[in-house]
Amino acid sequence: MELHSVAKKLMLAVAGLFFLFLIVRFIDTSPHHHHTEGIEIQGNDDHIHVIYSSVYDLEPKSIQSITAYFPAQNRRLFFEEDRIEISSLQSSCRDIREWVTHSPEVIRQITLTNREATELRNLYSNINPDFRIDQVPANEDYGLPEPEGCIYIYTENDQIFLQFGTETAQGFSRYMRINRTEPVYIVSRYFFTTFIDFFDDF
């Protein structure tokens, strides 16, 4: 009698395992890839990962110059070839003004190594955002009407104007827009602080 009971339990266990095998066999667990404009969604049904396309994409060697301006510090930085020129200038980042077209007196010049110049061009050749805000809420501006910093990238065929707003709540990223238009992107703060580091101790 005891042996018969054990046999029944074994049969039920085997049936349960077989049923589980059928469930796993016929459920699609392969990764899903969905594409929409500027977004790639990857993952399975229980885990979704969103990858945003680059805001822009340049050949690093095509970048002829980069101009950065930070209103709070009244500092303009101009990068060309292997040098950075730091100037004092009072302006704003609302649009491309004299901080791009005007050449104020240089108060400091930094010569970069070939590696440093290459890394700087590589960094600003494209920006992959962490998040994209397609429709900005009416009660939010993310600090972009009065940007805390802006960067102008010049190539023979492209001119790109980046405006950086406030930091995100976590402090690891900043709000950014390109050429004064939406969408608004959340990007690594490193794109904002890289140029500041050149005059932070000055």
Q: Does the residue 172 lie in any domain? A: yes
What is the structure's pLDDT at 188?
Answer: 95
- pLDDT tens, residue by residue, 74-101: 999 999 999 999 999 999 999 887 677 7
Our count of domains for the chain comes to 1
DSSP calls for the chain: -HHHHHHHHHHHHHHHHHHHHHHHHHS--SPEEEEETTEEEEEETTEEEEEEPPS-B--GGGEEEEEEEETTTTEEEEEETTEEEEEE----SSSS-HHHH--PPEEEEEEPPHHHHHHHHHHTTB---SEEESS--TT--TT-SS-SEEEEEEESS-EEEEEEEEEPTTSSEEEEEETTEEEEEEEETHHHHHHHHHHTT-
In a domain, 165, yes or no: yes
The answer to whether residue 7 is domain-embedded is no
pTM summary value: 0.76
Within-domain flag for 1:
no
In a domain, 166, yes or no: yes
- Mean pLDDT of the 60-76 span: 95
